[in-house]
Chain A
Amino acid sequence: MRASLNWLKEYVDIDLTPVELADVLTMAGLEVESVIKIEEDLSHVVVGKVLSIKSHPNADKLSLCQVSIGDGTFPVVCGARNMKVGDKVPLALEGALLPNSMKIRKAGIRGEPSEGMMCSEEELGIGEDASGIMILEDDLVLGMDIVSALNLEDHVFDLNITPNRPDCLSIAGLAREVAAVTGKALKIPSIEVREEDGRVHDLTSVDVRDPELCPRYSARLISDVAIGPAPFWIRRRLESVGVRPICNVVDVTNYVLMAFGQPLHAFDFDLLSEKRIVVKRAKDGDTFATLDGLERTLQGDALMICDGEKPVAIGGIMGGLNSEVSVTTSNVLIESAYFDPSNIRKTSKKLGLQTEASYRFERGVDPEGVINALNITTRMIADLCDGKVAQGIIDQYPSPFLPKEIPLSIRRTNKILGTSLEKERVGRYLKAIELDNKNLDRDKLIVRVPPLRVDLNREIDLIEEVARLNGYDNIPTTTPLARVTSGRRSSAWVAEDKVKDVLISLGYYEVVNYSFISPKLITSLGVDVNHPFHKFIRIKNPLSEEQSIMRTTLIPGLLRTMKTNVYNKNSDLKLFEIGTVFFPNEEDKLPIEKRMLSALVTGLRYVEAWNFSGDEIDYYDIKGSLENLFRALDIRGCNFSCAGDIPYLHPGKSSTIMIGDTQIGFVGEVHSEVLENHDLSKTAHIFEIDFDLLVKHAFSEKKINLLSKYPPIYRDMALIVKEDVQSIDIYDAIIGCNNSLVKEILVFDVYEGEPIASGEKSLAYRIKYQSFKRTLTDQEVNKAHKKLVSKVLEDMGARIR
């Protein structure tokens, strides 16, 4: 909400600087987000008075005026015709520089001297009216500088009023708070309405059919109003708080809304059929054209203000085109009401229509302030539009709101705040914000809360007020006495940290992608509609189609990250992410959430440099990372088996990752078609692992083996096998020999090509023999090795290279 300092000063004395005031408001819970100084650079523009007007001898459209500024009179040649002799006008004298860059100097115009210029609002840059010279209020002092005469300098506060404080959504409401915290008196003017002929009850009636949704509806009638622009000061005030001026009647209702927080509406009384008001619910599907020119479809719980036959306004939200005040209006009915906050909010949400009125009604206006606001509005319209007010007020208010009486325990106040405030002090704080209170017993006060404070209903609400008025800064800062706890991270957190540390040490960067992605990204993986990745959850109101579904895999995010970086010329990447993926659950149940660990590598293993060769990363790099990871997490029994049918991976360069019989994920080269779908030309390798399954198998207990005191002996064997033989088969064959002396098996060479025949390859193994009981002799190792080799050759159909 915006508030003008000049306006505020009308209701409370303020001797603080704007910055100090902003601080006071902020520390009272009314956060000032910014203070904007409004300045007008209008030196040499002063209040003048037109003494005479004669026609220009040499130009039909111009006139010659004498304008007095008190201690001097100036001849002015003028093109406008709206001013009369005796009018006070802004006069720009020699030396003035107007906002439209016009420089004023003495000149001759068609042979007549002109020593200044009378200005329009538009020329002064303070309004939109360019139709003629601005006519000033009659009581302004001649010669006074225009900026102070029109009070043009101001400060505007931009406040963030929390939803619990609708009472502060007005200038007077803010003034009440300022008065409370600065100790100054609040100056809300009392208003007298001059009533003339005709009794309102004879002229119209109000029938509230739904008092639950409209607990109070009051109205007055004003006749013979002259519609025109509102006076400059009203328009200026409205603009300072961000409201666009429309015409005098509407501007007054808006002025009172901003000043006192009570939304009002003016109907053209002659457009109300049967000259009466009926307040009732809409019929489902009714349509209604609101003031903003839109046709709106209503639902049955919307509360409508109707005349004898049709709706004329959506209660508390917006008036209708069919009863709008216009230049032809002469009689107006002013509505001042209190509507049920929750219903206003419902209707406003459904219509997608929030107005200054609905914003306040849905938070709660002061039901006891309705009549005062109506009277102020009536008086102002009567004064400014020459209207006549009918006698009496219509006020449908069947069950008045009563002040709430809430007991407040001082002991509890101090227990919650950690203070030692005395009862008298607490009582004083509450009185400062107009909460009367008296002693209930030794410990308690009974506090009387007016309906205007919709936020104060319970003891705790009052405790908050006490804290606020005492100042949070004055509450002692302490530390709690707490029990000792184990203070330990869960194993999932420990595992997550460990995984991150291992991957980081292997050169991987952690990334964080959005949890929502485009459905196109799932399609881009080449998976068919029955694949689990396609069973995604859709967001009802996404920001865009790009972020419209909850991710079922982290892979698309990593591919997108790869693309971003390749585009920025970073094509050697090692990335990982730990994040949640989402799958639908039975109806009415929350979705299934799984935490995944995924990684992507692409580009060179190391940047080629004097000390590194520039080799491309391959499958064995990412597999090696996984092996390192499992080792660090003490995961045993892990193996990689052929995947074959994962649509987004290269069929020959991918595998599933198994722990025992449980598949925990997959690893492999990204299918070239997927890369093409992402406009990526370089190959990439990825893995994705179910993180919770990983954690379940992590941190298996360790038993340490004894160390042998006897030396090992190594023997090599180089085999030639068919090219489709897998290393794991040979490994299994070696293990299958059941030789307890075999302690380690190392593949030290893999070779294909000359002189090995095509369709074959060579694999070379180094085997470590060692005993725990004695030193082995060459002869016995040779014998064992020979036996082992011949068994492997036989099993694998291989031959020695």
Chain B
Amino acid sequence: MKEELEKLFGEALGNLKVAGEESQVTQVRTEFLGRKGKITALLRGLANVSPEQRPIVGRLANEIKLSLEEKIRESLASIQARKRKERLLHEKLDITLPGRRVPTGRKHPISEVCNEVIEIFLGLGFQISEGPEIESDYYNFEALNIPKDHPARDMHDTFYISDEILLRTHTSPVQIRLMEKQEPPIQIIAPGKVFRCDSDVSHTPMFHQVEGLMVGDNITFGDLKGILTIFLHEMFGAKTKVRFRPSFFPFTEPSAEVDIACVMCQGNGCRVCSSSGWMEILGAGMVDPEVFRIVGYNPNEVVGFAFGLGIERIAMLKYGISDIRLFFENDMRFLGQF
């Protein structure tokens, strides 16, 4: 009986090997293990086996049945796997067709750059402050040490609403408004729109500035250089060369213009930087004691610095834009590139 069992097992395995379809495999199961199957039929004769041989043959029969079941499952699994693979191969997509992309918009480049500037200063501990876009002559000029008949007013081509009310020409009035209502220490930036009556390739009657102010009892010109150098390195890369040179603003003293090595020619001199190798990027200085006196601080105790930078200018350098007016035409062919 042992021999017969092993022979049937061999026969079943042989059938499995050639079975290519699931039905052929299940047929093997029916033919050998089913109720009328060959192995089942053979095992009905187990009663006739001698009592000593019976457990041995029984165990063998069991092993063969389990083994055959296992082989049948494997066979089915491999046929199914093969068939799935064949099916998937038929379901191939043209994966190079464009996706079902829901179009997204973009921030205006001015917002983008302004946010970048703000992020850097927030990281340095500055807070955001704001003020009105239409200002009084007092906040825009007089409190900033620019009296009515001062030639420094020539530096600002001002739009007037009335003799005393105007469109702010810089974000500096925010300094005054803040210092009037808050004691030092102060560490703020003030982003916003400003206006000057000027219009050509490099001027628009409206543009954006970010003002900065840091006031305390122990702040130096060296600190001003430090903070602005960090900012410029964050903005334009750590290798950017920065220089500070003397200048004049009525509300700061000493005053400085800050230049970076020309981003177009890396400082070798080109048309963009008028061959100087440098580009003006912001104005800054130590707050003039007169301004402290005007807002009611004690100029002998309080020191601080202020700075102002033009967002459009930075955006133009960053993106290589030569005509500032593009920012306000809002042509999708322009906005779509950011």
Query: A476 and B248 in contact (CB under 8 A), knowing A31-B257, A464-B254, A512-B328?
Result: no
Cβ contact within 8 Å between B243 and A507: no
Cβ contact within 8 Å between A503 and B105: yes
* B192 → A minimal CB distance (Å): 9
Contact partner of B105 among A489, A493, A510, A593, CB < 8 A? A510
Cβ contact within 8 Å between B332 and A509: yes
Chain B contact-residue range equals 35 or more
- Please report the C-alpha to C-alpha distance between residue A177 and residue B36 in the assembled complex, in whole angstroms: 119
* B163 → A minimal CB distance (Å): 9
- Please report the C-alpha to C-alpha distance between residue A540 and residue B330 in the assembled complex, in whole angstroms: 27
Contact with A along B141-163 (1 / 0, CB 8 A): 00000000111101100011110
- Please report the C-alpha to C-alpha distance between residue A416 and residue B220 in the assembled complex, in whole angstroms: 5
Cβ contact within 8 Å between A547 and B289: no
Contact with B along A29-43 (1 / 0, CB 8 A): 101111100000000
Cβ contact within 8 Å between B185 and A162: no
Query: A416 and B303 in contact (CB under 8 A), knowing A487-B122, A515-B206, A538-B161?
Result: yes
Q: Is A103 an interface residue (CB 8 A)?
A: no
Cβ contact within 8 Å between A513 and B244: no
Which residues of B, 125-145, contact A by the 8 Å Cβ criterion? 125-128, 132-136
Q: Is A542 an interface residue (CB 8 A)?
A: yes
Q: Which residue of A lies closest to B154 (CB)?
A: A163
- Please report the C-alpha to C-alpha distance between residue A570 and residue B210 in the assembled complex, in whole angstroms: 33
Partner-binding segment picked from B11-19, B21-29, B79-87, B211-219: B211-219
Cβ contact within 8 Å between B197 and A473: no
Q: Which chain B residues border A761 with CB–CB below 8 Å?
A: none
Cβ contact within 8 Å between A612 and B330: no
Cβ contact within 8 Å between B136 and A479: no
* B245 → A minimal CB distance (Å): 5
* A356 → B minimal CB distance (Å): 14
- Please report the C-alpha to C-alpha distance between residue A501 and residue B133 in the assembled complex, in whole angstroms: 25
Cβ contact within 8 Å between A593 and B331: no
* A9 → B minimal CB distance (Å): 22
Cβ contact within 8 Å between B216 and A467: no
Query: A575 and B247 in contact (CB under 8 A), knowing A417-B222, A539-B160?
Result: no
Query: A481 and B248 in contact (CB under 8 A), knowing A345-B149, A568-B331?
Result: no
Partner-binding segment picked from B46-54, B55-63, B96-104, B316-324: B96-104
Q: Which chain A residues border B275 with CB–CB below 8 Å?
A: 34-35
- Please report the C-alpha to C-alpha distance between residue A564 and residue B223 in the assembled complex, in whole angstroms: 46
Contact partner of B220 among A29, A418, A513, CB < 8 A? A418
* A28 → B minimal CB distance (Å): 7
Q: Which residue of B lies closest to A497 (CB)?
A: B115
Cβ contact within 8 Å between A513 and B105: no
Q: Which chain A residues border B107 with CB–CB below 8 Å?
A: 500, 504, 510
Contact with B along A574-597 (1 / 0, CB 8 A): 111000101000001011010000
Contact partner of B332 among A573, A591, A593, CB < 8 A? A573
- Please report the C-alpha to C-alpha distance between residue A431 and residue B167 in the assembled complex, in whole angstroms: 44
Find the residue from A29, A463, A489, A582 having the highest chain B CB count within 10 A: A29
Cβ contact within 8 Å between A461 and B134: no
Query: A363 and B151 in contact (CB under 8 A), knowing A27-B245, A481-B218, A487-B125?
Result: yes
Q: Which chain A residues border B206 with CB–CB below 8 Å?
A: 514-516
Cβ contact within 8 Å between A473 and B205: no
Q: Is B165 an interface residue (CB 8 A)?
A: yes
Q: Is A415 an interface residue (CB 8 A)?
A: yes
Q: What total of A-B pairs shows CB separation below 8 Å?
A: 249
* B328 → A minimal CB distance (Å): 6
Q: Is B255 an interface residue (CB 8 A)?
A: yes
Q: Which chain B residues border A570 with CB–CB below 8 Å?
A: 331-333
Cβ contact within 8 Å between A575 and B167: no
Cβ contact within 8 Å between B159 and A541: yes
- Please report the C-alpha to C-alpha distance between residue A514 and residue B196 in the assembled complex, in whole angstroms: 12
Q: Is A401 an interface residue (CB 8 A)?
A: no
Cβ contact within 8 Å between A475 and B225: yes
Q: Which chain A residues border B110 with CB–CB below 8 Å?
A: 512
Q: Is B44 an interface residue (CB 8 A)?
A: no
Q: Which chain B residues border A513 with CB–CB below 8 Å?
A: 328, 330
Q: Which residue of B lies closest to A489 (CB)?
A: B128
Which residues of A, 112-127, contact B by the 8 Å Cβ criterion? none
Q: Which chain A residues border B78 with CB–CB below 8 Å?
A: none
Cβ contact within 8 Å between A417 and B221: yes
- Please report the C-alpha to C-alpha distance between residue A11 and residue B226 in the assembled complex, in whole angstroms: 39
Which residues of B, 106-132, contact A by the 8 Å Cβ criterion? 106-108, 110-111, 115, 122-123, 125-128, 132
Q: Which chain B residues border A419 with CB–CB below 8 Å?
A: 222
Q: Which residue of B lies closest to A30 (CB)?
A: B246
Q: Which residue of A lies closest to B158 (CB)?
A: A541
Which residues of B, 273-299, contact A by the 8 Å Cβ criterion? 274-276, 286, 288-289
Cβ contact within 8 Å between A568 and B288: no
Chain A contact-residue range equals 35 or more
Partner-binding segment picked from A140-148, A189-197, A603-611: A603-611
Cβ contact within 8 Å between A34 and B218: no
Q: Is A54 an interface residue (CB 8 A)?
A: no
Q: Which chain A residues border B265 with CB–CB below 8 Å?
A: none
Q: Is B199 an interface residue (CB 8 A)?
A: yes
Q: Which residue of A lies closest to B230 (CB)?
A: A479
Query: A511 and B225 in contact (CB under 8 A), knowing A472-B245, A537-B134?
Result: no
- Please report the C-alpha to C-alpha distance between residue A476 and residue B136 in the assembled complex, in whole angstroms: 38
Q: Which chain B residues border A607 with CB–CB below 8 Å?
A: 103
- Please report the C-alpha to C-alpha distance between residue A588 and residue B275 in the assembled complex, in whole angstroms: 49
Q: Is B227 an interface residue (CB 8 A)?
A: yes
Cβ contact within 8 Å between A515 and B193: yes
Cβ contact within 8 Å between A163 and B155: yes
Q: Is A480 an interface residue (CB 8 A)?
A: yes
- Please report the C-alpha to C-alpha distance between residue A593 and residue B135 in the assembled complex, in whole angstroms: 11
Q: Which chain A residues border B106 with CB–CB below 8 Å?
A: 504, 509-510
Cβ contact within 8 Å between A512 and B257: no
- Please report the C-alpha to C-alpha distance between residue A513 and residue B289 in the assembled complex, in whole angstroms: 38
Contact partner of A512 among B162, B221, B330, CB < 8 A? B330
Cβ contact within 8 Å between B105 and A478: no
Q: Which chain B residues border A486 with CB–CB below 8 Å?
A: 127
Q: Which chain B residues border A479 with CB–CB below 8 Å?
A: 223, 226-227, 230
Q: Which residue of A lies closest to B280 (CB)?
A: A31
Q: Which chain A residues border B111 with CB–CB below 8 Å?
A: 500, 510, 512
Q: Which chain A residues border B225 with CB–CB below 8 Å?
A: 472, 475, 477-478
Find the residue from B125, B128, B135, B246 having the highest chain A CB count within 10 A: B246
- Please report the C-alpha to C-alpha distance between residue A164 and residue B243 in the assembled complex, in whole angstroms: 22
* B116 → A minimal CB distance (Å): 13
Q: Which residue of A lies closest to B139 (CB)?
A: A590
* A295 → B minimal CB distance (Å): 25
Q: Is A287 an interface residue (CB 8 A)?
A: no
Q: Which residue of B lies closest to A364 (CB)?
A: B151
Q: Which residue of A lies closest to B159 (CB)?
A: A539
* B247 → A minimal CB distance (Å): 6
Q: Is A342 an interface residue (CB 8 A)?
A: yes
Q: Which residue of B lies closest to A162 (CB)?
A: B248
Q: Which chain B residues border A341 with CB–CB below 8 Å?
A: 149, 151
Q: Which chain A residues border B159 with CB–CB below 8 Å?
A: 516, 539-542
- Please report the C-alpha to C-alpha distance between residue A781 and residue B143 in the assembled complex, in whole angstroms: 74
Extra pairs beyond A482-B214, A503-B105 (18, CB < 8 Å)? A26-B245, A27-B245, A163-B150, A345-B151, A362-B149, A415-B220, A417-B254, A461-B253, A479-B226, A480-B219, A487-B126, A507-B103, A507-B105, A510-B335, A561-B330, A565-B331, A588-B164, A611-B100
A-B contact pairs, 20 of them (CB 8 A): A26-B245, A32-B276, A163-B154, A415-B220, A416-B286, A467-B221, A477-B225, A479-B227, A483-B185, A485-B187, A510-B106, A510-B107, A511-B108, A515-B167, A561-B330, A564-B329, A590-B132, A590-B134, A593-B133, A610-B98
Chain B residues engaging chain A, CB cutoff 8 angstroms = 97-100, 102-108, 110-111, 115, 122-123, 125-128, 132-136, 149-152, 154-155, 159-162, 164-165, 167, 185, 187, 193, 195, 197, 199, 204-206, 214, 216, 218-223, 225-227, 229-230, 243-248, 253-257, 274-276, 286, 288-289, 303, 327-333, 335-336
- Pairs A-B, 4 closest by C-beta atoms: A418-B222, A418-B220, A29-B246, A162-B248
